[in-house]
């Protein structure tokens, strides 16, 4: 399966403003790219990439006063299969968790494990460790929160989402991540593309999506508390402890979002534009 994905963001600033962006497909999917990917800017700006501590591609630039358009259009090859399910994947004792996964057991900006530990153990302490325990957490988060764009709040934490019982996809992910970590299951936040492939088209405008991975059975596995069922065509852009580590854009000064479009669609051929 071929998936055409991309975006157009319009950002406005009053003075020259430094910015980093995580708007490229994650290096783990590099072999699946069927067209070159680049963050195209208008006006044309100098940019440079680096790899952060979580393995994400970050693009640095300085926005000039006025509006800057950031865009990308890329074709990615995908298996066309739903998210894999490994129902017999075991939960590792903490002393067997790899060193580089230990950070995903700790509390973070949006996932306050200290405030949610007692709740988590009361809800899931009786559930057998492993895939089933994670699925029980996903089910809980999926039904606990009411989804809606009108509920978006950039500062809402997992505990606040649990109390308010509303949110967008990042809130579903944060809640499930926090509960997993409380139960000693490494969990990391993921962001990327997820189009309406294999499901009825959504009534709302397309957006980027947030889900999470957990470490079970010696590997990382995808879970999605917002949708709560395997999906086709998930394309990772960045992962980290929570939304702080995976922000699409981080500006070092005031900025206004003056335009936002995302597209993710199945296509049947690769069209290359001559240089």
Across 8-22, 194-208, 222-236, least confident range: 194-208
Residue 85 forms part of a structural domain? no
Q: What is the pLDDT of residues 63-85, one digit of tens each?
A: 999 999 999 999 999 999 999 99
Which whole number is the average pLDDT over 246-252? Answer: 96
7 with 125, same domain: the answer is no
Same domain, 38 and 116: no
User: Phi and psi at residue 176, in whole multiples of 5°?
Assistant: -65, -40
Instruction: Please report whether residue 151 resides in a domain.
Output: yes
Q: How far is CA 252 from CA 16, 70, 98, 153, 271, in A?
A: 10, 17, 34, 20, 37
pLDDT at 273 over 90: no
238 and 254 share one domain: no
Q: What gap in Å lies between CA 223 and CA 94, rounded to an integer? A: 20
- 171 vs 275 pLDDT, higher one: 171
Residue 275: pLDDT band with limits 50, 70, 90: very low
Domain match, 190 and 212 both: yes
pLDDT of residue 271: 65
Residue 89 maps to a domain: no
Residue 194 lies in a domain: yes
Shared-domain flag, residues 252 and 232 = no
Regarding whether 72 and 143 lie in a shared domain, the answer is no
> What is the pLDDT averaged over residues 88-105?
98
Clarify whether residues 239 and 252 are in a common domain: no
Q: Are residues 11 and 33 in the same domain?
A: yes
Same domain, 202 and 258: no
In a domain, 34, yes or no: yes
Residues 224 and 187 in one domain: yes
What CATH number is attached to the domain comprising 108?
3.10.620.30
Looking at the structure, tell me whether residues 173 and 60 fall in a common domain: no
Q: Quick check: is 275 in a domain? A: no
Question: Is 142 part of any domain?
Answer: yes
Query: Is 47 a residue whose pLDDT tops 80?
Result: yes
pTM over 0.75: yes
| Inside any domain, residue 272 | no
Model confidence pLDDT, tens digit, residues 130-157 = 999 999 999 999 999 999 888 989 999 9
* List of long-range contacts for 90-94, beta carbons under 8 Å, 24+ apart: 90/129, 90/130, 90/216, 90/217, 91/129, 91/130, 91/133, 91/184, 91/185, 91/216, 92/215, 92/216, 92/218, 94/184
- CATH number of the domain enclosing 252: 2.60.40.2250
Residue 274 has pLDDT above 50, yes or no: no
How many separate domains does the chain show?
2
Q: Which domain holds residue 178?
A: 94-243
């Amino acid at each position: 399966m071929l998936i055409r994905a991309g975006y157009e963001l319009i950002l406005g600033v009053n003075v020259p403003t430094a910015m980093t962006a995580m708007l490229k497909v994650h290096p783990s999917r590099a072999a699946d790219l069927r067209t070159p990917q680049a963050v195209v800017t208008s006006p044309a700006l100098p940019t440079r990439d680096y790899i952060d501590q979580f393995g994400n591609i970050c693009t640095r630039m300085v926005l000039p006063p006025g509006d800057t358009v950031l865009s990308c259009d890329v074709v990615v090859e995908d298996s066309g299969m739903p998210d894999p399910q490994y129902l017999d994947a075991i939960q590792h004792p903490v002393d067997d968790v790899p060193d580089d996964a230990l950070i995903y057991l700790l509390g973070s900006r949006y996932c306050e494990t200290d405030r949610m530990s007692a709740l988590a153990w009361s809800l899931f302490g009786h559930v057998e460790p492993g895939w089933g325990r994670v699925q029980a957490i996903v089910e809980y988060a999926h039904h606990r929160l009411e989804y809606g764009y009108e509920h978006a709040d950039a500062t809402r934490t997992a505990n606040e989402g649990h109390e308010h019982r509303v949110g967008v996809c990042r809130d579903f992910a944060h809640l499930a991540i926090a509960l997993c970590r409380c139960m000693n299951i490494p969990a990391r936040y993921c962001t990327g593309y997820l189009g309406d492939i294999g499901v009825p088209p959504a009534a709302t405008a397309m957006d980027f999506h947030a889900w999470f991975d957990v470490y079970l059975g010696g590997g990382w596995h995808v879970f999605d508390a917002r949708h709560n069922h395997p999906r086709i065509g998930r394309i990772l852009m960045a992962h980290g402890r929570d939304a702080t580590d995976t922000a699409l854009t981080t500006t070092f000064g005031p900025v206004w979002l003056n335009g936002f479009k995302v597209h993710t669609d199945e296509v049947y051929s690769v069209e290359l534009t001559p240089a």
